[in-house]
Amino acid sequence: MPTSAGKTKPSSRPKSRGTRTRTPTSAKRGKGGKAGGLTYAESGVDIDAGDRFTQAISGFMRRTHGPRVLSNDGGFAGLFRLDFNERLFQRNYKEPVLVAATDGVGTKLRLARDMDTFDTVGIDLVAMCVNDLIVEAAEPLFFLDYLAIPRVEHGMLVDLVKGVSRGCQIAGCSLLGGETAELPGIYPEGEFDMAGFAVGVVELRKATSNMKVEPGDVVLGLGSDGVHSNGFSLVHRVVAHAKLDLHTVYPQLDAERTLGQVLLTPTRIYSPSIVRLLRGYRVKRVISGMAHITGGGLAGNLERSLHSSVDAVLDRSTWTVPPIFGFLKKQGGIRAPEMDKVFNMGVGYCVIVRPAFADAVIDKLARSGERVTRIGSIQPGAGRVRFRS
């Protein structure tokens, strides 16, 4: 990847972090350079610091690598083969389709900065991408990240990538590469942003389609771990409006963790449970639809999994709403419809299944560690989500 103005020349995050190869810097020559000219370091980009960061994160990347990842030291891109076992690949995929998703963490990053805690939002980044990917019944294969910063802050960056690595380990995909862009003059001191890119594969005949959803199907809700990574612009407004202290323990929320720690709880990664579930039904068509519940809430996201002839009718009494949502609602004076539109309200993922298999699917998901309940059913309708009174 070529170097652009104001951007650190890509430096390999060792072993197929391939989009980074740095050249020696003249920053060590002192202010003004050997001949008195300007230097890249003076402009705010420290290539040597970037190289030290690159070396520090190599172990985090290798932890996510399996036999599908090909070593490519110093390369400009990461290499990943669709399967390391040709016979296994041919058994699993007759018509393989690549699936891709991209997302970010949003203004939750501001909370990470305020709490000076950066090793959790990387998990959020992976979750927001792979949870979208598995809605299409895809197996996550590899992940790439993009970090934008005003200057290299070694400890913060290492923690960010440490979190991304942990997220990839949970999701079962390889952290194949990434980019760290030093952008002085664009990002103010202390600010940063991150984006993620996930690629997976699905057998064509098993790909999710909302046309597969039928009246009588059962809607299962998988519990969330809290706010996840949506609605944090409103969360910040509530904190400021109610003059809340992120470093204070509010007993009605949690007996031990501070408000900031509760809010920083990473987005739950559902891919291990969903991929395991899908692999358990290689022939039977058990799952008719899925939805990742993010911005737009339960109704807004579940409707994306319905066609125009069916409705999802849900019963709010079937799941437990985590305390954080009631706390935010009360402290901010937020109306119930607004809460429903912005937050997941305790349901982070939905699986729509054929009624004859509902109990078996619940059991499989529970054994995978999910908190899963029947939250509703599919009925004839017009592609809407309705709540029972």
In tens, the pLDDT along 245-288 reads 999 999 999 999 999 999 999 999 999 999 999 999 877 889 99
Task: Tell me what pLDDT residue 294 has.
Answer: 96
**Which of 36, 249, 61 is CA-nearest to residue 169?**
61
Angle of helix 358-367 relative to helix 271-279, nearest 10 degrees, comes to: 130
User: Three-class SS string for 313-344?
Assistant: EECHHHCCCCHHHHHHHHHHCCCHHHHHHHCC
How many CB atoms neighbour CB 366 within 10 A?
Answer: 13
- Residue ranges in the chain whose pLDDT is less than 50: 1-33
CB 106 within 8 A of CB 230: yes
**Residue-by-residue DSSP string for 261-301:** HHHTPPPPP-HHHHHHHHHT-SSS--EEEEEE--TTHHHHH
Q: Is 313 exposed, middle or buried (0-12, 13-18, 19+ CB in 10 A)?
A: middle
Sheet holding 218-223, edge to edge: 287-292, 347-353, 218-223, 372-380, 310-314, 385-387
The Cβ-side half-sphere exposure at 124, using a 13 Å CA radius, reads 28
**Global pTM value:** 0.84
| Sequence ranges of the domains in the chain | 27-204, 210-387
Structure letter (DSSP) for residue 389 = -
Measured CA to CA, the distance from residue 133 to residue 292 in angstroms comes to: 9
Measured CA to CA, the distance from residue 248 to residue 258 in angstroms comes to: 5
What Cα–Cα distance (Å) separates residue 323 from each residue in 240, 263, 335?
A: 19, 11, 16
Task: Tell me what pLDDT residue 159 has.
Answer: 95
Token digits of residue 87: 């016979």
Hey, what CATH class is 210-387 in? Answer: alpha beta
Helix (H, G, I), strand (E, B) or coil at 112: helix
Q: What ranges in the chain are assigned the alpha helix state H? A: 47-56, 58-62, 86-92, 108-115, 121-135, 154-171, 232-241, 259-263, 271-279, 297-302, 323-332, 336-342, 358-367
Q: Is 240 exposed, middle or buried (0-12, 13-18, 19+ CB in 10 A)?
A: exposed
Q: Report the CATH superfamily, name and number, of domain 27-204.
A: PurM-like, N-terminal domain (3.30.1330.10)
Measured CA to CA, the distance from residue 39 to residue 183 in angstroms comes to: 15
Task: Tell me what pLDDT residue 7 has.
Answer: 37
Measured CA to CA, the distance from residue 374 to residue 314 in angstroms comes to: 9
CA 333 to chain centre: 29
Give buried/exposed letters for 144-182 (b at 16+ CB in 10 A, else e): bbbbbbbbbbeebbbbbbbbbbbbbbbbbbbbbbbbbbb
Q: Facing residues of 290 across strands? A: 351
Task: Tell me what pLDDT residue 157 has.
Answer: 93
CATH topology match: 27-204 vs 210-387: no
Measured CA to CA, the distance from residue 195 to residue 218 in angstroms comes to: 34
Sign (positive/negative) of CA torsion 19, 15, 55, 188?
positive
Task: Tell me what pLDDT residue 14 has.
Answer: 38
